[in-house]
Amino acid sequence: MEEAAGVLKVFVGQGKRLAIRDFMSSDPYVVVRVGNLTAKTKVINSCLNPVWNEEFAFSVKEPLGVVKFEVFDRDRFKHDDKMGHAFLDLQPIAGASKLKRALQLTTAGETKLRKVAPNPDNCLLADSFVTHTDGEIVLDARLRLCDVESGELFVTVKWIDCAAAAAANSSTSYAAAR
């Protein structure tokens, strides 16, 4: 089994204007998929503007591919209803990670590395920026849900390069030992 190159943290913040799937509301939850890895948020009962504020960590070789978000309405006595889906391409994060290494950025503060604009090939609702913030590559995104009458997701994806983190820790340890 190969060792992970880093940790991809996916923060599911909130949903807005989600579709009604029960009588007057829904009981939404989000399934997050990164490759063959899956995580699920808690269910928020009777809410069309849920706040999950949940973070999931995935050990991966590279920040490649996409993060998929599927929103469902929990039902007790039948199959859960689909409430839309969205995805976030990880290529801008992978590119920013390489740029960070090339520029040898320090771990303090925030630096904008690239802008990601909405287009027909992504689910973004507004411009997003990939930043280097306190040693992490971060992308905050507002996503429109697809195949549904309405809905948005607010998410944050962070990439933490294990090699860079290990190098920073070893240099810190070395400096402290001197």
The C-alpha atoms of residue 134 and residue 71 are separated, in whole angstroms, by 31
> Is the residue at 109 inside a domain?
yes
So what's the pLDDT on residue 94?
Answer: 84
The DSSP 8-state label assigned to residue 80 in this structure reads P
Q: What is the CATH number of the domain that holds 96?
A: 2.60.40.150
For residue 160, being part of any structural domain is answered with: yes
Please report the pLDDT score of residue 178 as a whole number. Answer: 29
- Predicted TM-score (pTM) of the model is 0.85
Residues spanned by the domain of 50 = 6-177
Tell me: pLDDT of 97 over 90: no
Chain-centroid distance of CA 162 in Å reads 18
- Does residue 152 belong to any structural domain of this protein? yes
Half-sphere exposure of 44 (CA within 13 A, CB side): 20
Q: What is the mean pLDDT of residues 61-70?
A: 88
- pLDDT tens by residue, 38-65: 999 999 999 999 999 999 999 988 777 8
Q: How far is the C-alpha of 124 from the C-alpha of 38, rounded, in Å? A: 22
Q: Which of 114, 110, 171 is nearest to 136 (CA)?
A: 110
Q: Is residue 13 part of a domain?
A: yes
Residue 1 in any domain: the answer is no
Looking at the 3D structure of the chain, how many domains does it have? 1
Q: What is the pLDDT of residues 115-154, one digit of tens each?
A: 999 988 889 999 999 998 887 899 999 999 999 999 999 9
Amino acid 77: pLDDT: 86
Q: How many residues does the chain have?
A: 178
Whole-angstrom distance, CA of residue 176 vs CA of residue 82: 53
What's the rounded mean pLDDT across residues 152-178? 61
